[in-house]
Amino acid sequence: MKVSYVGFIDVVRAEFYSYIRFYKNNRAFLFAAFIWPYLMMMLLLGLGYLFGDPRVYAERLGVRSPVLYVVSASTVAMSSVFIIDEVAGYTLYNRWNGTLPYLILVPMPLSKRLLSASIPSVLLSPAISVASALPVAVYIEGLRGFVLVASLYAAIILGMLPLAGLSVIVAGLVLTTREESNIASSLAPFMLLVSGVFYPVTILPRVLQGVSVVVPVRYVVDIAKSLASTTGAGQLYAAIYALTLMAFAYNLLTVPLLSGVEARVRIHGFE
C-alpha cells in the first residue's frame, strides 16, 4: 500500500491558499489593509501640524520629504503589525475556532507547522502595504519614488524573516499561558515603539534603546530612513547584516523552544 505523507511544501501551499481565500472572502478587510498606512500618516501629520512644523520634522530626521518618509514608515509599521498579528496570533485564532487540537495532531513538528504558516504572511502582507504606498511615492517623487518603494519591499521581506521566527516563538508560548484573549497584541506596538518608526531611536530611554538592538523592525526602519535620507545610505549595510544574522538566529531558536512547548502541551493540554 502506498502511503503519502503531508510534506512541508504541501502545508505551505495550503497556507497560501487559505491566506488568499481569506482576503478574497473579506474584501472589506483588504480595503482596510490598503488604507491603514494612510490613516497612520494622517494621524501623525495631523498631530504634527497642530503642534509644530513639518520642516522641523524633516530637518531633525534628515529626510527629504516628511510625507514620503511617514508613508514609508507607516508601510513598515503595517507590514510588521500584520506579520506579528497573523503569525503570533495563529495558534490563538485556531484555539478560538476549535481547530487547534487538529493543528497539534498534524504529523509534523510544531515549529515546522508554524513556520509554514508564516511564509504567506511574510511575502504577501508587505506586498499589500507596499502596493498601498506606491501611488503616493510615485506622485511625490516620480520614478525615484517607485524605486524607493520597490527597495522598501525588499527590505521589509528581509526584515520580516527574523520577525516571523520571533512571532513563531510567541505563537508557541501563547499556548502555555492558559488565557483565551489575544495577550500578544501589544507585541507589535512595543516593537514599533522601540524601533523608532517615526523618530530616531536615540530619543528613547536608554533601557528601550538597549532592547531595540535585538528587534528586527528597528533595522527595517533604519533602511527606510537611509532610503529617504538626504545624506546617503550610511546605515544601510549595517542594517542588512544585522537582519541576516537575526533571520538565522531567531528561526534556528524556534526548533528547540517549540519542541519544549509542544511536549508540554501534549502532556498538560491547553485551556
Q: Does 270 bind another protein (CB under 8 A)?
A: no
Q: Does 94 bind another protein (CB under 8 A)?
A: no
d(CA 1, CA 84): 42
153-182: which residues touch another protein (CB under 8 A)?
177, 179, 181-182
Site string for another protein, 241-260 (x = CB under 8 A): --------------------
Q: Which residues make beta-bridge pairs with 229?
A: 63
Q: Residue 69, Cβ neighbours under 10 Å: how many?
A: 23
What are φ and ψ of residue 257, in 5° steps? -65, -45
Q: Is the distance from CB of 225 to CB of 69 less than 8 angstroms?
A: yes
206-235: which residues touch another protein (CB under 8 A)?
208
- SS3 call for 63: strand
Q: Does 184 bind another protein (CB under 8 A)?
A: yes
Window contacting another protein (CB under 8 A); options: 43-51, 113-121, 133-141, 214-222: 43-51
46-65: which residues touch another protein (CB under 8 A)?
46-54, 56-57, 60-61
**H, E, C per residue of 96-144:** HHCCHHHHHHCCCCHHHHHHHHHHHHHHHHHHHHHHHHHHHHHHHHCHH
Handedness of CA 26, 29, 30, 31 (dihedral sign): positive
Contacts with 13 (C-beta within 8 Å, 6 or more apart), sequence order = none
Closer to another protein by Cβ: residue 7 or 200:
200
Closer to another protein by Cβ: residue 10 or 176:
176
Q: Closest separation between CB of residue 153 and another protein, Å? A: 22
Q: Does 238 bind another protein (CB under 8 A)?
A: no
Q: Please report, as a single letter, which amino acid is at residue 143.
A: L
Distances (CA, A) of 54 to 13, 30, 58, 118, 192: 45, 30, 6, 37, 21
Q: Does 271 bind another protein (CB under 8 A)?
A: no
Q: Closest separation between CB of residue 203 and another protein, Å? A: 5
Which DSSP category does 180 fall into? -
Closer to another protein by Cβ: residue 145 or 196:
196
Q: Report how many residues bind another protein under the rule CB under 8 A.
A: 36
Q: Does 266 bind another protein (CB under 8 A)?
A: no
Window contacting another protein (CB under 8 A); options: 143-151, 196-204, 241-249, 257-265: 196-204
Q: Does 137 bind another protein (CB under 8 A)?
A: no
Which of 203, 213, 249, 252 forms a contact with another protein (CB under 8 A)? 203
Q: Is the distance from CB of 78 to CB of 33 less than 8 angstroms?
A: yes
Interface positions with another protein (CB under 8 A): 43-44, 46-54, 56-57, 60-61, 70, 96, 177, 179, 181-186, 189-190, 192-193, 197-199, 203-205, 208
